[in-house]
A and B are shown apart, each in its own frame.
Chain A
């Protein structure tokens, strides 16, 4: 905006500062999907800096898949202007191999077993089961993280 002098009408000139694209996308997963690749597939390849994106993961994934997914999200997220990754709708499947990955025996296995019971318990509320599931996934992630 320019002012020529006292009383003169201001001159206004438009300048483009930025344009952002809002994207809401869904990431449907199955127990055997390669999660990292699936995530990359739903993300746009170009202009990531000007994109605000929200990815909502749905379906089912094992602990290993979830750990992979989380890693991929942490790797890819910073490319975007805004990256919101929502796994609330993503269910978790557990098998003994996953638990074996945490530990075959001992106290860590004991903790993992208890959390798994918590996710399957019929006496607990849905929120409490979700908390147990989250805790188990987290434990798995920590153990994996330490193994690398």
Chain B
């Protein structure tokens, strides 16, 4: 919504129509001196939007001019739906109309609800806050004193921002409502919602409980009482019936008759019993006789049979005895034969084993011989190998020989060099004088040069000794001696004296090595696994012994064994057969013996039995039996006659028992009923005294009342709890919906004035508590008036921005908002306002004409009908 024009008529000092025009989008400024009526304008705007045309309260009355009249305010606005004119008139002929393009679209209450819709009411949003003049909360102009107070309040940031915050969160009124709700709730319940001890709720609950318990008690007592009364009535009737004299006499009569009847029946029964005994005696005699007759007949026949059996058994026993003897003889013979055949079999088996050993020995003899030969040869080869190896270690090997040869050649070379350099003697003998000169006792050879490096003593026969001296020309440098010494030392190490000897020794060594190799090859071929292995193989071959020379050949031994085995098996079979036969004979014999003994016993029993019968014979017994039978028949006839005529004893007994039981039951019932009645009388008397029924009815009534009270209290508690919950939820919702967004909107605005500044907000009051600048926290109370009002303005702008974001474009009207702010700061503030004006309509009312002259914004025109025009 954006405001396009405002017209006033009959509003305070504007007794003639006045009109504000040219309100554009963005920042609008109305700069007028004091007493122009800016605040009146402001109040009139508020009245249009928030005061029903029917209202005539003090706010509206305050709008009237001193001269009286009906205040009229008309506002032109523009929304997304087009341009509308809202007109309101109060007091006399009040009206409210909404027109669109000169066409009436709503009036009276319809118009009011249209306005309320326009302001976005209904969703609980803070629609009105932007219309509130800073600091002032009421529309009244009031007295001078009140205006002064309002001015003071206007400077107070807290009161001003508190207005907005309260609008959002319900503020103090919300706190009050919650506190009242909780206070009332605490009368009834604990903070956890349980009935409070000592409170009316708890008391009502306890009362209901107590009454319920009492009611239950009384109800039980009453039920018991009713039951007792019924019982007593019934028992009394029973007792009366039992004690009736006629009934008692009839019971006695019946008892007497039954007793007499029973006695008669008993007497007759005794007579029948006596006859019965007589019949029994007669029957016993007959039975006795019959038994004796049968026994006599049986015993006679038994004796004849037994005699025959004894004779037969004796004959059989003799035959069995003979049979047994022969079977024993057969078995003994068979046993003997078996033993012999077993011995023969064992011998044959031994012979076979000996034959097998001999055969093995014979088979191995050839191989033994060969092995012995191989062992001998191998031994020889080893001996040879060892002696050759010993020889092969003597004398120089080829390398040593080469060294010796080198030394010998060095010596020869040394000698040749020395002799070449030394003085020489050449003796040319005269004919016949050969050998007449001797050197070291030997003849000096002639005609050939002889080197004398060390000079020489020549003994000339017959003349004397000629000494030739070699002089000191160093003819001998000692190298020959050195070579000689080296050669001899080397020769000595190998045990030789000359180089030839050494050469021979080396040759002998080679030959010995050769022999060793040959001997080793021979040994390897003879005994590849060593001689010990051959010896072990030899030991494994059996040797033929002298004593086993005469055993039969293997084939014969095998045949003999087979025969022996056959014989043994046969003997075994016949022995088993004989044994079986013997045991059969034995059992037959003993069975027949037992039979014989049984027959003999039977005979003796039969004889004894006959003896016991004495000498009575059959005919006499038969006569006696016939007489006894006749007597029995007579007794039986008499007995059955008596039985037929006897009365029913059991029936008589039953009748008597019944009569007795009737009498006894009646007596017992009387005895039982009397004390029971006494008990009931006592109990009823006691209960009746307690006035149970009356008390029950009374308790019922009390319970009803108590339950109703409890229900009312519970309803009350539910109402309070619900209210508490809804209030708390609404407050926290409002906080979430408005408070956080406003804080977010505020931040960039604050930074425009004070970079890095931040407001901190009280958690519970939701009011700004401190301004944080450059990390310094300054409580709001100590801020300067200018800073306070700047903060307040910015907070307001933040609200506007937040609303705009929610889709409610509400104009912001600032009435002398910047009283304490210096000019520089005002410029900064106007930067903030311009910044807002992009998406908001802002109307600034100010008296500071000079300060506002160069700050930009659209200047608003004011026209009055009486004066043709008036420019701002």
Given contacts A114-B730, A115-B723, A146-B173, contact A105 B167 (CB under 8 A): yes
Q: Are A106 and B180 in contact (CB under 8 A)?
A: no
Q: Are A104 and B128 within 8 A (Cβ)? A: yes
With A114-B730, A143-B177: A106-B169 Cβ-Cβ less than 8 Å: yes
Contact with B along A123-148 (1 / 0, CB 8 A): 00001001110110011001101100
A135 to chain B, nearest CB (A): 4
Contact partner of B730 (CB less than 8 A), chosen from A110, A127, A146, is: A110
Per the bound structure, the CA–CA distance linking A47 and B408 in Å amounts to 177
B719 / chain A contacts, CB cutoff of 8 Å: 131, 134-135, 138
- B730 and A131 contacting across the interface, CB-CB below 8 Å: no
**Min CB distance, B853 to chain A, in Å?**
37
Given A131-B719, A139-B723: A105 in contact with B173 (beta carbons within 8 A): no
**How far is A96 from B734 in the complex, measured between Cα atoms in Å?**
20
With A106-B169, A110-B734 known as contacts, the answer to whether A115 contacts B726 (CB < 8 A) is yes
How far apart sit A138 and B724, CA to CA, in the bound complex (Å)? 11
Report the separation of the CA atoms of residues A67 and B762 in the bound assembly, to the nearest whole angstrom: 35
Chain B residues in 8 Å Cβ range of A56: none
Q: Does A103 lie at the interface of the complex (its beta carbon under 8 Å from any beta carbon of B)?
A: yes
Are A105 and B126 in contact (CB-based, < 8 A)? Answer: yes
State whether A135 touches B128 (Cβ < 8 A). no
B720 touches A138 (CB 8 A): yes
B723 touching A138, Cβ below 8 Å: yes
Residues of A within 8 A of B128 (CB): 104-105
Is residue A107 within 8 Å, beta carbon to beta carbon, of the partner chain? yes
B168 close to chain A: CB less than 8 A: yes
In the complex, A67→B444 CA distance in Å?
A: 182
Given known contacts A130-B715, A134-B715, A146-B176, A107 and B170 CB-to-CB distance under 8 angstroms: yes
Q: Is the CB of A142 within 8 A of B180?
A: yes
Contact of A105 among B124, B174, B727 (CB under 8 A): B124
Within 8 A of A (CB), among B504-519: none
Knowing A104-B128, A105-B127, A106-B167 are in contact, say whether A131-B173 is a contact too (CB < 8 A): no
How many chain B residues sit at the interface, stated as a range, is: 35 or more
* Contact in complex: A106, B168 (CB < 8 Å): yes
**Residues in B whose Cβ lies below 8 Å from that of A114:** 726, 729-730
B394 CB within 8 Å of chain A: no
Known: A110-B733, A131-B715, A138-B181. A104 touches B722 (CB 8 A): no
Q: Do B177 and A107 touch (CB < 8 A)? A: no
- The docked-state distance in angstroms from the alpha carbon of A130 to that of B126 is 29
**Would you list which residues of chain B between 119 and 140 have a CB under 8 Å from chain A?**
121-122, 124-128
Q: A89 contacts the other chain (Cβ, under 8 Å)?
A: no
- The answer, yes or no, to whether B266 is at the interface (CB within 8 Å) is no
Residue-by-residue, is A89-124 near B (CB-CB < 8 Å gives 1, otherwise 0)?
000000010000001111111110111001000000
Partner of A108, one of B50, B181, B730: B730
In the complex, which of the residues B121, B176, B716 contacts A104, with contact meaning CB atoms closer than 8 Å? B121
B148 CB to nearest chain A CB (Å) = 26
Residues of B within 8 A of A130 (CB): 715
* B731 CB–A CB distance under 8 Å: yes
Chain A residues within 8 Å of B410, by CB: none
In whole angstroms, how far apart are the Cα atoms of A113 and B727 in the complex? 11
Interface string of B149-175 (1 = CB under 8 A from A): 000000000000000001111110110
Is there a chain A Cβ closer than 8 Å to B634's Cβ? no
Determine if A107 and B715 form an interchain contact, defined as CB atoms under 8 angstroms apart.
no
> Within 8 Å CB of A111, what residues of B?
170, 726-727, 729-731
The interface residues of chain B lying within 8 Å CB-to-CB of A145 are 180
Q: Is the pair A105, B125 in contact by a Cβ cutoff of 8 Å?
A: yes
Interface centre among B116, B176, B722 (most CB of A within 10 A): B722
Interface size on A, residues (CB 8 A): 27
Asked if A107 contacts B722 (CB within 8 A), the reply is no
> B734–A107 contact, CB under 8 A?
yes
Q: How far is the CA of A110 from the CA of B167 in the complex (A)?
A: 11
Q: Is B608 an interface residue (CB 8 A)?
A: no
CA distance A110 to B121 in the complex (A): 11
Given A131-B718, A146-B176, also A103-B170 (CB < 8 A): yes
Partner pick for A132 among B125, B169, B181, B722, CB 8 A cutoff: B722
Q: With CB as the reference atom, state the residue of chain A lying closest to B179.
A: A142
CA distance A106 to B734 in the complex (A): 7
Interface class of chain A by DSSP: helix
Residues of B within 8 A of A108 (CB): 170, 173-174, 177, 727, 730
CB of A110 within 8 A of CB of B124, answer: yes
- Cα A107 to Cα B726 in complex, Å, equals 10
Q: Assess the A142–B167 pair: CB atoms within 8 A.
A: no
Question: With a CB–CB cut-off of 8 A, which chain B residues contact A132?
Answer: 722
A103→B715 contact, CB < 8 A? no
Closest chain A residue to B124, Cβ basis: A110
Q: How far is the CA of A110 from the CA of B128 in the complex (A)?
A: 15
Interface positions, chain A 37-89, Cβ under 8 Å from B, are: 88
Q: Is the CB of B168 within 8 A of A107?
A: yes
Q: A105 contacts which chain B residues (CB < 8 A)?
A: 121, 124-128, 167
C-alpha gap A106/B720 in the complex (Å)? 21
Q: Once the chains bind, are B124 and A109 in contact (CB under 8 Å)?
A: yes
Q: Assess the B124–A107 pair: CB atoms within 8 A.
A: yes
Residues of B within 8 A of A110 (CB): 124, 730, 733-734
Rounded to whole Å, the gap between the CB of A108 and the closest CB of chain B is: 4
B727 — which chain A residues lie within 8 A by C-beta?
A: 107-108, 111, 139
A50 CA to B273 CA in the complex, in Å? 104
Contact between chains at B726 and A104 (CB < 8 Å) = no
Nearest CB in chain B: distance from A20 CB, A = 16
Query: In the complex, A69 Cα to B125 Cα: how many Å?
Result: 31
Complexed CA–CA distance, A128 and B744 (Å): 39
A139 to B725, CA, bound (A): 12
Q: Considering the chains assembled together, what is the distance between the CA atoms of A95 and B50 in angstroms?
A: 17
- B715 cross-chain contacts in A, Cβ below 8 A: 130-131, 134
Q: Do A139 and B126 touch across chains, with their CB atoms under 8 A apart?
A: no
Scan residues 93-136 of chain B and give those whose CB is less than 8 A from a CB of chain A: 113, 116, 121-122, 124-128
Tell me which residues across on chain A come within 8 A of B716, comparing CB atoms: 134
Given the contacts A111-B726, A132-B722, A138-B723, A106 and B177 also touching, CB distance less than 8 Å: no
Query: Which residues in chain B, 390-425, are within 8 Å of chain A measured between CB atoms?
Result: none
Bound together, the chains give a CA A128 to CA B765 distance in angstroms of 32
- Once bound together, how far apart are the Cα atoms of A139 and B121, in whole Å? 20
Q: List B residues 170-192 near A (Cβ within 8 Å).
A: 170-171, 173-174, 176-177, 180-181
What B residues does A143 contact at CB under 8 A?
173, 177
In the bound assembly, the distance between CA atoms of A107 and B168 in angstroms comes to 6
Closest approach, in angstroms, between the C-beta of A16 and any C-beta of chain B? 24
Alpha-carbon gap, A134 to B124, bound state (A):
21
- In the complex the two chains form, what is the Cα distance from A118 to B727 in whole Å? 14
Set of chain A residues within 8 Å of B176, measured between Cβ atoms: 142, 146
A106 touching B726, Cβ below 8 Å = no
Contact (Cβ within 8 A) B170 A139 = no
Using an 8 Å CB-CB cutoff, how does the interface string of B726-742 with A read, 1 for contact, 0 for none? Answer: 11011101100000000
Q: Which chain A residues border B729 with CB–CB below 8 Å?
A: 111, 114
Give B730-762 interface residues, CB cut-off 8 Å to A.
Answer: 730-731, 733-734
B395–chain A nearest beta-carbon distance, Å: 133
Partner of A106, one of B124, B712, B718: B124
- What separation, in Å, do the CA atoms of A130 and B177 have in the docked complex? 20
- Given A105-B121, A142-B176, A143-B177, A131 and B722 contact (CB-CB distance below 8 Å): yes
User: Which residues does chain A contribute within 8 Å of B50, judged by CB atoms?
Assistant: 104
Measured CA separation A139–B718 after assembly (Å): 14
User: What's the nearest-Cβ distance from chain B to residue A83, in Å?
Assistant: 15
A54 to B719, CA, bound (A): 23
Q: Besides A113-B124, A131-B715, A138-B723, 4 other CB < 8 A contacts?
A: A105-B125, A106-B169, A106-B170, A127-B718
Q: For the complex of A and B, list the 9 residue pairs with the smallest distance between their C-beta atoms, beginning with the closest.
A: A134-B719, A111-B730, A110-B124, A107-B734, A135-B723, A107-B170, A108-B170, A110-B730, A135-B722
Could you list 19 A-B pairs, sorted by A, with CB under 8 Å?
Answer: A88-B712, A96-B116, A103-B170, A105-B128, A105-B167, A106-B734, A107-B170, A107-B730, A110-B733, A111-B170, A111-B731, A114-B726, A114-B729, A115-B726, A135-B720, A138-B719, A139-B177, A139-B723, A146-B176
